[in-house]
Protein backbone atom coordinates (compact mmCIF):
# COMPACT_ATOMS: atom_id res chain seq x y z
CA UNK A 1 0.00 0.00 0.00
CA UNK A 2 1.25 3.45 -0.88
CA UNK A 3 -0.05 6.53 0.90
CA UNK A 4 -0.04 9.96 -0.73
CA UNK A 5 -0.87 13.02 1.35
CA UNK A 6 0.04 15.82 -1.08
CA UNK A 7 -0.96 16.71 -4.65
CA UNK A 8 2.56 15.89 -5.77
CA UNK A 9 2.43 12.54 -3.99
CA UNK A 10 -0.89 11.71 -5.66
CA UNK A 11 0.51 12.63 -9.08
CA UNK A 12 3.52 10.38 -8.44
CA UNK A 13 1.25 7.48 -7.39
CA UNK A 14 -0.90 7.89 -10.52
CA UNK A 15 2.14 8.06 -12.81
CA UNK A 16 3.67 5.04 -11.11
CA UNK A 17 0.48 2.96 -11.37
CA UNK A 18 0.07 3.73 -15.06
CA UNK A 19 3.72 2.89 -15.73
CA UNK A 20 4.03 -0.25 -13.61
CA UNK A 21 0.76 -2.11 -14.14
CA UNK A 22 1.24 -5.14 -16.33
CA UNK A 23 -1.14 -6.59 -18.88
CA UNK A 24 -1.54 -10.23 -19.78
CA UNK A 25 1.66 -11.97 -20.86
CA UNK A 26 2.94 -15.45 -21.59
CA UNK A 27 5.22 -17.09 -19.06
CA UNK A 28 7.11 -20.40 -19.16
CA UNK A 29 4.02 -22.36 -18.10
CA UNK A 30 0.64 -20.83 -19.00
CA UNK A 31 0.20 -17.08 -18.76
CA UNK A 32 0.18 -14.20 -16.30
CA UNK A 33 -3.19 -12.37 -16.39
CA UNK A 34 -1.63 -9.02 -15.47
CA UNK A 35 -2.15 -6.69 -12.54
CA UNK A 36 -4.58 -4.03 -11.35
CA UNK A 37 -4.31 -1.18 -8.85
CA UNK A 38 -6.91 0.32 -6.53
CA UNK A 39 -7.07 3.90 -5.29
CA UNK A 40 -9.03 5.06 -2.23
CA UNK A 41 -9.58 8.56 -0.86
CA UNK A 42 -9.85 9.17 2.89
CA UNK A 43 -10.80 12.49 4.45
CA UNK A 44 -8.40 12.23 7.39
CA UNK A 45 -5.43 14.23 8.71
CA UNK A 46 -2.13 13.40 7.00
CA UNK A 47 -0.70 11.82 10.16
CA UNK A 48 -3.82 9.78 11.03
CA UNK A 49 -4.03 6.02 10.73
CA UNK A 50 -5.67 4.81 7.52
CA UNK A 51 -9.10 3.26 8.25
CA UNK A 52 -9.50 -0.48 7.72
CA UNK A 53 -12.42 0.03 5.33
CA UNK A 54 -12.85 2.52 2.51
CA UNK A 55 -15.95 4.43 1.44
CA UNK A 56 -14.83 4.57 -2.19
CA UNK A 57 -12.62 2.73 -4.64
CA UNK A 58 -11.30 3.20 -8.15
CA UNK A 59 -9.62 0.10 -9.58
CA UNK A 60 -7.78 0.24 -12.86
CA UNK A 61 -6.21 -2.04 -15.38
CA UNK A 62 -4.20 -0.89 -18.39
CA UNK A 63 -2.64 -2.30 -21.51
CA UNK A 64 -0.01 0.16 -22.71
CA UNK A 65 0.59 -1.91 -25.88
CA UNK A 66 -3.01 -1.38 -27.04
CA UNK A 67 -3.36 2.11 -25.52
CA UNK A 68 -6.46 1.32 -23.44
CA UNK A 69 -7.45 0.99 -19.83
CA UNK A 70 -10.55 0.31 -17.78
CA UNK A 71 -11.87 1.51 -14.43
CA UNK A 72 -14.21 0.06 -11.81
CA UNK A 73 -15.65 2.54 -9.29
CA UNK A 74 -17.78 2.10 -6.21
CA UNK A 75 -18.90 4.57 -3.58
CA UNK A 76 -22.06 6.50 -2.82
CA UNK A 77 -25.37 5.65 -4.49
CA UNK A 78 -26.75 7.86 -7.23
CA UNK A 79 -30.31 9.14 -7.41
CA UNK A 80 -30.58 8.04 -11.05
CA UNK A 81 -29.86 4.41 -10.11
CA UNK A 82 -29.90 3.55 -6.41
CA UNK A 83 -29.84 -0.18 -7.18
CA UNK A 84 -26.18 -0.19 -8.23
CA UNK A 85 -23.10 0.59 -6.20
CA UNK A 86 -20.45 -0.61 -8.66
CA UNK A 87 -19.78 0.99 -12.03
CA UNK A 88 -17.45 0.28 -14.96
CA UNK A 89 -16.22 2.72 -17.59
CA UNK A 90 -18.27 2.91 -20.76
CA UNK A 91 -16.17 3.72 -23.80
CA UNK A 92 -17.63 6.29 -26.20
CA UNK A 93 -15.58 4.94 -29.12
CA UNK A 94 -14.71 1.29 -28.41
CA UNK A 95 -11.89 -0.37 -30.34
CA UNK A 96 -12.68 -2.88 -33.08
CA UNK A 97 -10.32 -5.40 -31.44
CA UNK A 98 -10.04 -6.94 -27.97
CA UNK A 99 -7.61 -4.64 -26.09
CA UNK A 100 -6.94 -7.29 -23.38
CA UNK A 101 -7.17 -4.99 -20.36
CA UNK A 102 -7.10 -6.90 -17.07
CA UNK A 103 -10.16 -6.28 -14.89
CA UNK A 104 -9.64 -9.00 -12.27
CA UNK A 105 -6.38 -10.98 -12.31
CA UNK A 106 -7.66 -13.55 -9.79
CA UNK A 107 -10.27 -15.22 -12.04
CA UNK A 108 -8.89 -13.94 -14.51
CA UNK A 109 -11.30 -11.52 -16.21
CA UNK A 110 -10.77 -8.76 -18.77
CA UNK A 111 -12.74 -5.63 -19.55
CA UNK A 112 -15.20 -5.90 -22.42
CA UNK A 113 -14.04 -3.75 -25.33
CA UNK A 114 -17.16 -1.61 -24.73
CA UNK A 115 -15.74 -0.72 -21.31
CA UNK A 116 -12.26 0.52 -22.12
CA UNK A 117 -11.12 4.07 -22.72
CA UNK A 118 -7.87 5.61 -23.99
CA UNK A 119 -5.09 5.77 -21.39
CA UNK A 120 -5.25 9.57 -21.18
CA UNK A 121 -8.88 9.30 -20.02
CA UNK A 122 -7.83 6.74 -17.40
CA UNK A 123 -5.24 9.20 -16.09
CA UNK A 124 -7.73 12.09 -16.14
CA UNK A 125 -10.31 10.00 -14.25
CA UNK A 126 -7.74 8.96 -11.63
CA UNK A 127 -6.79 12.57 -11.03
CA UNK A 128 -10.44 13.63 -10.75
CA UNK A 129 -11.18 10.78 -8.33
CA UNK A 130 -8.21 11.60 -6.10
CA UNK A 131 -8.71 15.36 -6.10
CA UNK A 132 -12.51 15.27 -5.79
CA UNK A 133 -12.91 13.32 -2.56
CA UNK A 134 -13.30 9.88 -4.14
CA UNK A 135 -16.45 10.79 -6.06
CA UNK A 136 -17.17 8.99 -9.31
CA UNK A 137 -15.21 10.78 -12.06
CA UNK A 138 -17.21 12.69 -14.67
CA UNK A 139 -14.52 12.75 -17.40
CA UNK A 140 -15.62 9.25 -18.48
CA UNK A 141 -19.02 7.62 -18.89
CA UNK A 142 -20.15 4.77 -16.64
CA UNK A 143 -22.53 1.83 -16.62
CA UNK A 144 -23.55 -0.59 -13.83
CA UNK A 145 -21.25 -3.59 -13.35
CA UNK A 146 -20.28 -6.45 -11.11
CA UNK A 147 -17.54 -5.85 -8.54
CA UNK A 148 -14.99 -7.27 -10.98
CA UNK A 149 -15.91 -5.00 -13.88
CA UNK A 150 -18.21 -7.22 -15.89
CA UNK A 151 -21.07 -5.42 -17.63
CA UNK A 152 -24.56 -6.08 -16.28
CA UNK A 153 -26.26 -5.22 -19.58
CA UNK A 154 -24.64 -7.20 -22.39
**Is 2 part of a structural domain of the chain?**
no
In 3-state terms the chain splits into helix, strand, coil percentages (rounded to 5) of: 20, 25, 55
43 vs 70: which has the higher pLDDT: 70
The pTM of this model reads: 0.88
> What confidence tens digit (pLDDT) does each residue in 16-65 have?
999 999 888 776 677 788 999 999 888 887 778 887 878 889 999 999 99
Query: Is residue 94 included in any domain, yes or no?
Result: yes
Report the number of distinct structural domains present in the chain.
Answer: 1
**pLDDT value, residue 1:** 64
φ/ψ of 7, rounded to 5, equals: -60, -40
Give residue-wise pLDDT tens across range 128-140. 999 998 999 999 9
Domain that holds residue 121: 7-43+54-144
Residue 152 domain-assigned (yes or no): no
Amino acid sequence: MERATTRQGVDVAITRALAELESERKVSVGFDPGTTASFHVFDIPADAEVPKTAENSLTLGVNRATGYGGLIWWGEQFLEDTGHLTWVTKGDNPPTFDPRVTADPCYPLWYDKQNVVPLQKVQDALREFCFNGGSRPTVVEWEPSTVNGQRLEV
